[in-house]
Structure 1
Amino acid sequence: MRDARILVVDDEKEIRDLIEIYLKNEGFHVLHAQDGVEALHILSQQDVDLLILDVMMPRMDGIQACLKIREAKHMPILMLSAKSQDLDKIHGLSTGADDYMTKPFNPLELVARVKSQLRRYLLLNNAKSPTQDHDEIEIGELLINTSTHEVHVGEREVKLTPTEFSILELLARHRGMVFSAERIYERVWEEPFYQSDNTVMVHVRKIREKIEENTRAPRYIKTVWGVGYKIES
């Protein structure tokens, strides 16, 4: 995980420099961009393992940039924003971000979240080695290959972010078991869950939009009201 390339996108130089100090102390290679336009240019020229993306920026903000990046890239995206309302967080995650932190933030917490996201992403990439045996989970027309991190519904390939895949794999490996949002968060993010956090709900909604024919009557990920989520056997 050391030497991973991280692109920090923020129009405030002081924040970019602060983040760089903490990331470099952990052995990461840090790239800078001051807005979404510059970030897209860098991503077209260089490989990046993780993106830290501010929401409020000139020319192209973080929301627009995230939507554009997700058309072709699947690396983890961690959003930063001065907006702390739940609706702002839901909106950010709905555009394809894997995680969301509000400003001002604790740099050590930011580093911890970066490491958590990178573990999943690098595991995903390393798992795509052709020498590994396939490990497939099949549920109806849903096929999950945990070796290559590929998902198909029938003949259609579904592109999931590393976080989305981790949630789907967790539920699929424990079919019939109900997982609360708290338990999913602590298993996937590997950090304590906070009462007001809507992160899991947003990610489950995004997964359903990708794998379900009818999100109002989901075939795979079921909601157990007041308890959590499950995939039935």
Structure 2
Amino acid sequence: TPVIMLTGSELDRVLGLELGADDYLPKPFNDRELVARIRAILRRSHWSEQQQSSDNGSPTLEVDALSLNPGRQEASFDGQTLELTGTEFTLLYLLAQHLGQVVSREHLSQEVLGKRLTPFDRAIDMHISNLRRKLPERKDGHPWFKTLRGRGYLMVSAS
């Protein structure tokens, strides 16, 4: 179920994103922007439902012991299913598709959240933070992601 938070508190926005909210709007908000964000989330949700119902052979990606099945929106590590939100899975899958390549925050925001990145928007950063917390430690001890300041994020492989 997609979740959009409407809040005036920056701490509430951060907490909401950490707890799995898909997006937020600061109060006061523009009605047209709220409608646009709802439509964007519904588009992503519709895409997710299509992927889940069709399971049309979209490639399962393997990154070390991490397996990502887009048809079922399921991530597992060493055979153990990981509890990820739809947004976190989509973000992780997109980064895995670009393994070893820098993906800009702008591109991630557009593709994963369906919205343009604004100067103080930390939604992608919060979802990356959630993924870092939820993904098990790699056997080689290396991080899953590197942050390249001013450029974006990079998912790295041990091999």
Name the TM-score, length of structure 2 as normaliser: 0.86
Q: Does 124-133 or 107-116 show the bigger shift?
A: 124-133
Q: Of the candidates 111, 124, 127, which is equivalent to residue 48 of structure 2?
A: 124
Deviation at residue 138 of structure 1 after TM alignment: 0.3
> SS of the residue aligned with 1:222?
strand
> SS of the residue aligned with 2:119?
coil
User: Are 1:136 and 2:60 an aligned pair?
Assistant: yes
* Structure 1 partner of 2:87: 163
The 8 Å contact of residues 212 and 220 in structure 1, kept in 2 or not, is answered as: no
User: Are 1:208 and 2:135 an aligned pair?
Assistant: no
Q: Which amino acid aligns with 1:78?
A: I
Deviation at residue 194 of structure 1 after TM alignment: 0.9
User: Are 1:189 and 2:113 an aligned pair?
Assistant: yes
Q: Distance in 1 between matches of 2:54 and 2:7?
A: 39
Q: Distance in 1 between matches of 2:48 and 2:20?
A: 17
Q: Distance in 2 between matches of 1:129 and 1:145?
A: 13
Number of aligned residue pairs: give it. Answer: 155
Q: Does 164-173 or 221-230 show the bigger shift?
A: 221-230
Provide Cα deviations, 1:180-233, integer angstroms capped at 9, x if missing partner. Answer: 32231123223221111111110001112111327xx65322222443211124
The 8 Å contact of residues 120 and 162 in structure 1, kept in 2 or not, is answered as: no
Deviation at residue 143 of structure 1 after TM alignment: 0.4
Q: Which amino acid aligns with 1:203?
A: H
Deviation at residue 80 of structure 1 after TM alignment: 0.9
Q: Distance in 2 between matches of 1:205 and 1:82?
A: 22
> Bigger relative contact order, structure 1 or 2, given CA contacts below 8 A and separation 6+?
2
> SS of the residue aligned with 2:53?
coil
Provide Cα deviations, 1:101-150, integer angstroms capped at 9, x if missing partner. Answer: 11211111111111111222222222223662252000001100112211
Deviation at residue 173 of structure 1 after TM alignment: 0.7
* Structure 2 partner of 1:107: 31
| Cα separation, partners in 2 of 1:139 and 1:194, compared to 1, 3 Å | same
The 8 Å contact of residues 142 and 151 in structure 1, kept in 2 or not, is answered as: yes
Identical counterparts, % of pairs: 35
Q: Distance in 2 between matches of 1:127 and 1:161?
A: 15
The 8 Å contact of residues 79 and 99 in structure 1, kept in 2 or not, is answered as: yes
Larger radius of gyration: 1
Q: Which amino acid aligns with 2:104?
A: S
Name the TM-score, length of structure 1 as normaliser: 0.60
Q: Which amino acid aligns with 1:76?
A: P
Deviation at residue 158 of structure 1 after TM alignment: 1.2
Q: Mind listing any 5+ residue stretches in structure 1 that lack a counterpart?
A: 1-74
Q: Which amino acid aligns with 2:136?
A: E
Q: Distance in 1 between matches of 2:142 and 2:149?
A: 14
Q: Distance in 1 between matches of 2:14 and 2:55?
A: 39
